[in-house]
Structure 1
Amino acid sequence: MFLQSIHNYRAVAIIAIVMSHSYVYGLEDTTGIISVIKTILTGCTALFVFISGYMFHHIFYKRFEYKKFMKGKFQRIIVPYLILSTFAIILVYIIKSGFYSSSPEYSGIVFFSPEDSSLSTAIKYYLTGRMLTAYWYIPFAILLFLASPLHFKFIKLSKNTQIFTIAAFSLISVFLHRSYENINPLQMFVYYTPFYLIGIYFSLYREEINKHCTQKGVIFLSAAILLAFYQYTQGHEGSYTKNFFEYGGIDIMFFQKMFLSTGLYFILEAFVFKTKLTDIISDTSFAIFFIHPWVLTTIKRLPFLEHPESTNVPYYLVTCLVVISLSVLISIALNRILTGKIKSRYIIGY
């Protein structure tokens, strides 16, 4: 059954993700309320993970076949990742950028090393997704897909056991934090598992959970905003990151994003709407994910554009609008051009 509310949620999630990757264009050095807004936008990958968990139960559970499930993910997500990553790695190698450069900026990052051969660096790029903004998500998502039989078993558990499982993984995530530089897919897999399980849980008990959505939405979103303000008062902006076995205290962002992802769910269930623009953005969300880093890196290198060094909200908002619009237009154009044996879904996931 098609759910307009989740369709809208997907559009909101991809817009937030693009906005969180565009700070350098007018929102890099901020204070006050703008910093709080940035903390709310940062880490909205959690929204995507929540939706993925929700749809795993809603769409795939009743007809779940592991081989068929993995084949679909391979075609729509893994193949585009391999193709686009290969182009990105080649370009990075040619211009001697990133981990192919001798810049000291990259010398201290875990997993990569200045002593790596070109081939080793390429392999590490594929494993981590560090060749382009946001591409770290795919190696992590592959682990989610591979673990789908465990998610299937989670659905079979009793309700109390499911709650205990979510709580246990949440406790681990709170102290684990996100991976430093988003470089460890296994750490990201463990960290985001509670969001995926919560998504499954919300779909599984949809009728019961969807009571009093407006009130729940207001409460949960208010809690997320208050936590973002608290983070700001503590001098912290954005995600908490560290290496796997380090101790870094409690990850406040985990709680904030859990409240945000569930709060948005309730609000979008309470106020279901349908617009052509939202539907287009949602339909092309996977393609936007794959394409927007290319648009951003192109804008960054345009010689006739001078990016503001201080806060410039209008410039930032216009840039976000341009990036999303171009990503959607490129997605639709490729979808219409690439037909027959060569399908656009194998390149951009749409």
Structure 2
Amino acid sequence: MEKQVPLTTATVSAAAPPVAGTAKTQKKFIGYIHNFRGVAIIYVVGAHILLNWPAGSVAHRVLDLIFQNSTILFLFIAGYLFQHLSAKFEYGDYLKKKFQNVICPYLLLSLPVIVYRVVTQDINGFTLEDHPDFGSWPAWEQAGYYLLHGAHLQQLWFIPMIALYYLIAPVLLYIDRKPVLYYVLIPLIVLSLVVQRSTLSDTLTMAVHFLSVYVFGMFMSRYKEQYLAFARKYAALVTLLPLAVLALNYFADQRFYDPLDYTHKMLFCCFYIYWLWRLEKYMPRFIDVLAVLSFGIYFVHYFFVLFLRGAYQKVFHEQIPGNMLYWTVCLVIVMLLSVWTLQLARRVLGGKSKYLVGC
């Protein structure tokens, strides 16, 4: 979720992997990571499509296994790009850019939603689960809770969490400058398996759980050349292992769902790095469009999810039925509405659009 490197710079060739860690490499546009952003945002939107699935639906379970917890893909890319662009890191400038491109659109898009939540007392379920007395809190306290935890809209919990990573950027950079410290990944991965995903608005717990993902992205960026050489030699392993763990997660007992889900999503990061590198020249144009607008799509897509759900219920007096056809149609519609909205915002606001929609 980092700022996109200009498309005019050199692209890392699939035939010639870059030499990791050099200043020259740090400035290059990496096509497969750019395309990975486009793939990751499809995962995110796909996970948020709200349909009324029948009890025991196999299709719903499979889609959940594939698309839920796609935060891992997004955070992996964020860590990868943080390391890739860190050659001339300056903390003050870094925080300034993050405020402009991430925090500012978060604040502006949050304001009307928080006002609506507080005025109407339309409190979402996961907030009430954690705080049954939330409705009795003073308005200012409710607003502050929403803002500091991103609890006012499904996808916005992510922003307060990743803001914590922005604040500890010098510590993360210190790890990268002394690569032996990447051994910290081992206890961090164990920690992620022990401290599992919590209520979305539990910012600190989620930050602890996902820290291994961000550092893993940094690690894979530093050793990009070595990984691509390994993946080329062991392509079958890189390809089949995540698919095998995904299948295992389908059949495993529910108590193993979270650790297996974490594991196969981490493995799919390696899967996509390799295959998007190998197939870079075959990527369709729409993946590039989604990649360029990915952060903006993250911000605005859920508004269209809610709009689509409400409009269907208004017209047909029932929730959207859950099946593969409706899921696919809804995914395409939400994607198109998000892309058109962002393109219009960029056309009208020019460079200032990043302050409102993040791109």
Q: Please give the range of the TM-score, normalised by the shorter of the 2 chains.
A: 0.7 to 0.9
Could you tell me which runs of 5 or more consecutive residues in structure 1 were left unpaired when the two chains were aligned: 241-250
The TM-score normalised by the length of structure 2 is 0.85
Distance 1:332 1:53, change over 3 A: same
Describe the SS at the equivalent of 1:135: helix
2:83 to 50, 57, 72: 57
Native 8 Å contact 2:51 2:321 kept in 1 = no
The structure whose residues are more often helix, as a share, is: 2
Q: Do structure 1's residue 318 and structure 2's residue 311 form an aligned pair?
A: no
- Residue 231 of structure 1 and its aligned partner are, at CA, apart by 2.6
Residue 84 of structure 1: aligned partner:
109
Native 8 Å contact 1:6 1:51 kept in 2 = yes
Q: Could you list the per-position Cα deviations for residues 236-280 of structure 1 after superposition, in whole angstroms to 9, with x for gaps in the alignment?
A: 39974xxxxxxxxxx222212111122111211222134321111
Native 8 Å contact 2:75 2:214 kept in 1 = yes
Name which of structure 1's ranges 136-145 and 110-119 shifts more when overlaid on structure 2: 110-119
Could you tell me which runs of 5 or more consecutive residues in structure 2 were left unpaired when the two chains were aligned: 1-27
1:170 to 189, 193, 197: 189
Name which of structure 1's ranges 253-262 and 42-51 shifts more when overlaid on structure 2: 253-262
Q: Could you list the per-position Cα deviations for residues 178-206 of structure 1 after superposition, in whole angstroms to 9, with x for gaps in the alignment?
A: 122x1111111111111111111111111
Letter aligned with residue 206 of structure 1: K
Native 8 Å contact 2:157 2:203 kept in 1 = yes
Residue 19 of structure 1: aligned partner:
46
Residue 212 of structure 2: aligned partner:
194
2: CA distance, partners of 1:73 / 1:123: 21
Residue 202 of structure 2: aligned partner:
184
- Residue 284 of structure 1 and its aligned partner are, at CA, apart by 0.5
Letter aligned with residue 173 of structure 2: F
Distance 1:320 1:345, change over 3 A: same
- Residue 308 of structure 1 and its aligned partner are, at CA, apart by 5.4
Residue 39 of structure 1: aligned partner:
65
Q: Could you list the per-position Cα deviations for residues 82-123 of structure 1 after superposition, in whole angstroms to 9, with x for gaps in the alignment?
A: 111111111223333116xxx8x8543259734311111110
Letter aligned with residue 348 of structure 1: V
Residue 127 of structure 1: aligned partner:
148
Native 8 Å contact 1:26 1:313 kept in 2 = no
Residue 345 of structure 1: aligned partner:
354
1: CA distance, partners of 2:318 / 2:272: 32
1:270 to 274, 278, 300: 278
Residue 347 of structure 2: aligned partner:
336
The TM-score normalised by the length of structure 1 is 0.87
- Residue 146 of structure 1 and its aligned partner are, at CA, apart by 0.6
Residues paired across the two proteins, number: 329
